[in-house]
Amino acid sequence: MKALGVATLFIGLSGALAKLLIIENDRLQTTGLMLMVFSLVLGTIVGELIDIEKLLASMGDRLKKLLHIKQNNNFAESFVTVTIVVCVGAMAIIGSLEDGIHNDSTILFTKSILDGVIVMIFASTMGVGAVFSAVPLFFYQAGLSLAAVSIAPYLSNNMLDGLSAVGSVLIFIVGINLIFGKRMHIRVGNMLPSVLIPIIYYALNV
């Protein structure tokens, strides 16, 4: 599990650095760093007020009761963790936009293969709850694809870059949770609204 956590951590780290670091005048500089910090702070406040992680956990518990799955303390934890891993990130968002606008599901198809591997690994270590992450993932990506036709023309490159950077940071935090477990658990589910802040920011500063 720690090895998987390290891999997840570096996936998030590489994604964030790819959006935050630029080379300008032969010098390495940062871009969008303050916006990312602001997005994480404000998004986390909103998420804590809503308590998204509790809602995801409740959804997992309802599925467990509905399907008469035997009591497993790891069910809700694995459901929440894998839901975040497969739902947050540039591939899910950009892939859904491409599918909705250009009817090109190549990115989503590629992501589905990667998700399948991730789910199998998580399921073998954390339990069957990982499998049911497919439920929110389906509605998440279907909703984005349906909304893409109307919103994509208004999304600038800055919006997508900011969104991807924040999403990658959340993936990084998931990796930390996997490495340290309950000793240092960060409620990353409640940080999900952070990915919307860059879009709102750039929309208000056009």
pLDDT in tens, the chain (206 residues): 677 778 778 878 888 888 888 887 878 888 889 999 999 999 999 999 999 888 877 876 776 677 666 655 577 777 877 887 777 655 676 677 678 766 777 778 777 877 888 888 888 877 777 888 888 888 888 887 888 777 777 778 888 788 888 888 888 888 888 788 778 888 888 888 998 999 899 989 86
For residues 47 and 189, the answer to whether their CB atoms sit within 8 Å is yes
Distance CA 200, CA 30 (A): 21
Euclidean distance between CA atoms 129 and 127, whole angstroms: 6
Token pair in block for residue 205: 């500063």
Look up the pTM and report it. Answer: 0.73
Q: Are 150 and 144 in contact (CB under 8 A)?
A: no
Long-range contacts of 52-57 (CB under 8 A, 24+ apart): 52/189, 52/190, 52/192, 52/193, 53/80, 53/187, 53/188, 53/189, 53/190, 56/80, 56/83, 56/136, 56/189
